[in-house]
A and B are shown apart, each in its own frame.
Chain A
Amino acid sequence: MTLRKWKLAWALAVAGATFVGAPALAQDTTCGTDRKIDIAEMTWASASVLAHIHAIVLGDGYGCNVELVPGATVTTSASMMGAGEPAVAPELWMSSIADRWAEAEADGTVVKLGDAITDGTIEGLFIPATLLEEYPELATMDGVTARPDLFPDPEDPSKGRVYSGPPGWAAEMATASLYAAYAMDDSGWNLFSVDSAALAASIKRAFLRGDPILFYYWGPTAVLGQVDAVKVELPPVDDDVYKCNTNADCNEVGKTDWPSSMVYVGASAWVADEAPAVAEYFSKVGMTNEDISGLLIYGDANNAETRETAENFLQTRQDFWTTWVPADVAERVIAAIN
């Protein structure tokens, strides 16, 4: 008898809790879908911080079921086109995947929700500014390729070393194509590719010690914001040549500067259909190069972890991001990060 009474009481309590909880659940419907929104967090700093910012806003503000998953340009875009996941990539660089993306958009498997970086990006080969002052002829690529002796390779001092993009990146192919187009192998150079973390460490090391260094890098990044480097002048941008340069199967490489890459917030098509609130949010989140650099420099100066940098942004730049979201979402986010 007593056991049945307890069971009854328990059942009533649960039912009561469910009813009490129901209004709270009603708030979550601003997300529009229960489906998991997995956000691609790529390995470079700006993409990583943006992924965390969006995860906080969507998770705490809209009540979505978010998850951060690792990503990289080629693999994430391919996965979206093929399998519909991850849901969103907040910083998808189009430079190496533009054609495939356009095809997939036409097929209806992916959508562009908005521009992630609104004023383009910067990619190129850089040298220290102090070196340029000493040797003004290094301002152009022709001048640089003629002087391998100024950039000695520590493992082979008779040759010069040029640091290309990290292994597997489109930037690596682009640099290797330029290397071939300028016949640098015959002029006494070595092409050298290291992982992005090691590349950043090598650059910082060279600038700390005042060593000359010729390296590929991209912006917006904290590294370019911190070192005094100058971009080497390459011939004007030729899109077709660049496309061939970044295509492993194309052999007619040529000399061209890096085009300013479009950077989208890319998403699998279902996001636009099943979660229109999320899609609308992402259409507004574009930032300029300067905004992103500011983000990254905070992180670097304060040795902050990615999540800390994201939370700092949400706390200190409310003027900026509250325009992206409705007022109640903004309130919930601010409450969550405090």
Chain B
Amino acid sequence: MFPEIIDTRPLRNWVDDGLEWVVVNWGDGLEAAASPLLTLLLWIEHLLLATPWWLIILLLTGLAYLASRRLQLAALVCFSLVFLGVMGLWEDSIKTTALMLTATLTAIATSIPVGIAMARWRWLRNIVTPVLDLMQTLPSFVYLIPAVMIFGPGKVPALLATIIYASPPLVRLTDLGIRLVDPDVMEASRAFGASPRQRLFGVQIPLAMPTILAGINQTTMMALAMVVIASMIGAGGLGYQVLQGIGRLEVSRGLFAGLGIVVLAIIFDRVTQAFGRQLQERIGLQDTRT
């Protein structure tokens, strides 16, 4: 096999001791830095839990109809939510939804500016792209256990893991969308005397909208994909039911909870896509792009 050139153990010990040092010395500071995220998540969760179930079903069905103007989507959303409730998964679904919403909103708020900046400056793209590769492919548990040691188990490391996993598609697609804007259109806008800010918000972002919306859609899906891992470190929700089902050999429990996750994915996917289509129509891009 490959010859042993150096003894890796001192290196590994150094990394482990370094982690312990961070936990002891920076733990409080990092926890405080992450507390706004936790506050946002808890606020969303309490809001959703406090709302009566029929109101949530009504609101989401109405939202689905407004977004798509089609009865089928509204009926699908209504039926899926009732399914969740009937199977006893309502509270778990709310917790999972709150986690996913918080992660997605944070990812959107951080990824789109980074994507836009990447499109503008090539040197930034060269730095950020390997970081994105890392975020997407590094196995979650590699950074999850250190995150648990630093922030403690529970919602914060779960949020961080979900955000790290879900952001890269949006960053990449935003960057791509902006770079793919027709150079002739950009030249025309420059000829008309538009300032860089006007070009960005008036030309580039609207034209990149389909791609950015695809990115948001992917981010939402990937946030839901992390649900089980998030539950392993204490976020609760539907993933927790899946884990219990696996551990106790109760296939039905895992199956229904898994279907619940699929249901949430379908609802958010269809609704965000429908809203996206409406947004594009409103800013003048017709269906040729979708």
Interface residues of A (CB under 8 A from B): 72, 74-75, 78, 154-155, 166-169, 172-173, 192-195, 197-199, 201-202, 204-205, 208-209, 248, 302-303
Q: 0/1 per residue, B229-265, Cβ < 8 Å to A?
A: 0011110000010011111111000000000000000
Bound Cα distance from A74 to B244, whole angstroms:
12
4 more A-B contacts (CB under 8 A) besides A193-B240, A205-B23?
Answer: A155-B42, A168-B243, A172-B244, A172-B247
Are A75 and B249 CB-contacts (below 8 A) given A208-B24, A303-B13?
A: yes
Bound Cα distance from A100 to B247, whole angstroms:
16
Q: 0/1 per residue, B142-154, Cβ < 8 Å to A?
A: 0011001110111
**Could you pull out 26 A-B pairs where Cβ atoms are within 8 angstroms?**
A74-B247, A154-B154, A167-B232, A167-B240, A167-B244, A168-B243, A168-B244, A168-B245, A168-B248, A172-B244, A173-B248, A192-B154, A193-B240, A194-B148, A195-B233, A197-B141, A198-B144, A198-B145, A198-B234, A199-B153, A202-B148, A208-B20, A208-B149, A209-B23, A303-B13, A303-B16
Asked if B153 and A208 make an inter-chain contact with CB atoms under 8 angstroms apart, the answer reads: no
B38 an interface residue at 8 Å Cβ cutoff?
A: yes
Contacts of A173 in B (CB 8 A): 248
- Among candidates A75, A193, A205, A302, residue contacting B148 with C-beta atoms closer than 8 Å: A205
B155 an interface residue at 8 Å Cβ cutoff?
A: yes
Number of residue pairs spanning A and B whose beta carbons lie under 8 angstroms apart: 82
Distance between A52 CB and nearest chain B CB, rounded to angstroms: 18
Distance between A160 CB and nearest chain B CB, rounded to angstroms: 14
Distance between B206 CB and nearest chain A CB, rounded to angstroms: 41
Asked if A208 and B23 make an inter-chain contact with CB atoms under 8 angstroms apart, the answer reads: yes
Asked if B153 and A168 make an inter-chain contact with CB atoms under 8 angstroms apart, the answer reads: no
B197 an interface residue at 8 Å Cβ cutoff?
A: no
Least CB separation from A199: chain B residue: B153
Distance between B98 CB and nearest chain A CB, rounded to angstroms: 12
Bound Cα distance from A154 to B20, whole angstroms:
20
Bound Cα distance from A111 to B145, whole angstroms:
38
Asked if A248 and B248 make an inter-chain contact with CB atoms under 8 angstroms apart, the answer reads: yes
Asked if A167 and B231 make an inter-chain contact with CB atoms under 8 angstroms apart, the answer reads: yes
Are A209 and B9 CB-contacts (below 8 A) given A155-B38, A201-B148?
A: no
Contacts of B122 in A (CB 8 A): none
Contacts of B23 in A (CB 8 A): 205, 208-209
Asked if B145 and A201 make an inter-chain contact with CB atoms under 8 angstroms apart, the answer reads: yes
Bound Cα distance from A88 to B249, whole angstroms:
19
Asked if A209 and B244 make an inter-chain contact with CB atoms under 8 angstroms apart, the answer reads: no
